[in-house]
Amino acid sequence: MERGVEPYEGDPALPGGFLNNVEEGILAAAHRELREEADLDASRLHLEQLGAYGEPGRDPRGRVVSVAYLAIAPGLPEPVAGTDAAGAFWTPVEEVLSGRLKLAFDHQQIVADGVERARAKLEHSALAAAFCAETFTIAELQKVYEAVWGVQLDPRNFYRKVQGVPGFIVPAGAERRTTKGRPARLFRAGPRTVLHPPLVRPDTPMTNEVDQ
């Protein structure tokens, strides 16, 4: 969102806000803020807790403890600015990770943590299928993995690997004919949500971490 109030008025930031009445849980509050601030609804929306951020100095108003949530969903509409927001827009994560788009508070760090979580999530969960239409080809599923991981995958090996996970995707019977090339078989999401074996992503460029 583009913030409409101080602090950081006018700066881009993640949508969020304070807990409401004493009956509201933190997950419900995340849903509410997403709806209020960006008009994004809960249907087909996976919300997963990232963690709490509560070091002093992260908010000029004082020590504020925020619980961050990662939302994963396909085909989201354009966000609409709601309460306290001057604007709302999507941006590629690369803009934030590279530092070209600077966010308010410590939201830069929260985004970095969220992206890493999403990338790891694809390895062990069937969430990627949720980013495709009701039925989809294996090549389409591959594009989801490539987009999130930011890598290129071998179509032949991906094809079998994905079929080697029982219950991940099941044949949908039909085929899809595109303008060129052989028609592809269609699949739909299977019953499994945890992947055995996992789809491991290729080695990241080996950050040579020696600390923490």
Q: What does the alpha-carbon distance between residue 30 and residue 15 come to, in Å, rounded to a whole number? A: 9
* Residue 8 per-residue DSSP state: S
Site mask, DNA, residues 114-153, x = CB under 7 A?
-----------------------xxx--------------
Could you tell me the smallest distance in angstroms from the CB atom of residue 133 to a copy of itself? 22
Q: How many residues bind DNA (CB under 7 A)?
A: 24
Do 73 and 130 contact (CB within 8 A), yes or no? yes
**Residue bearing tokens 């070091």:** 55
Count of residues interacting with a copy of itself (CB under 8 A): 28
Q: Should residue 177 be labelled a site residue for DNA when binding is judged by CB under 7 A?
A: yes
Tokens of 28: 């419900």
CB 45 within 8 A of CB 27: no
Burial degree of 124 (CB within 10 A; 0-12, 13-18, 19+): middle
Q: Which of 45, 47, 67, 165 binds a copy of itself (CB under 8 A)?
A: 67
Query: From CA 106, how far away is CA 114, in angstroms rounded?
Result: 13
Where along the sequence are the contacts to DNA (CB under 7 A)?
137-139, 154-157, 159-161, 164, 175, 177-185, 197, 200, 202
Where along the sequence are the contacts to a copy of itself (CB under 8 A)?
19, 22-27, 49, 51-52, 54-56, 62-63, 65, 67, 167, 191-194, 196, 206, 209-212
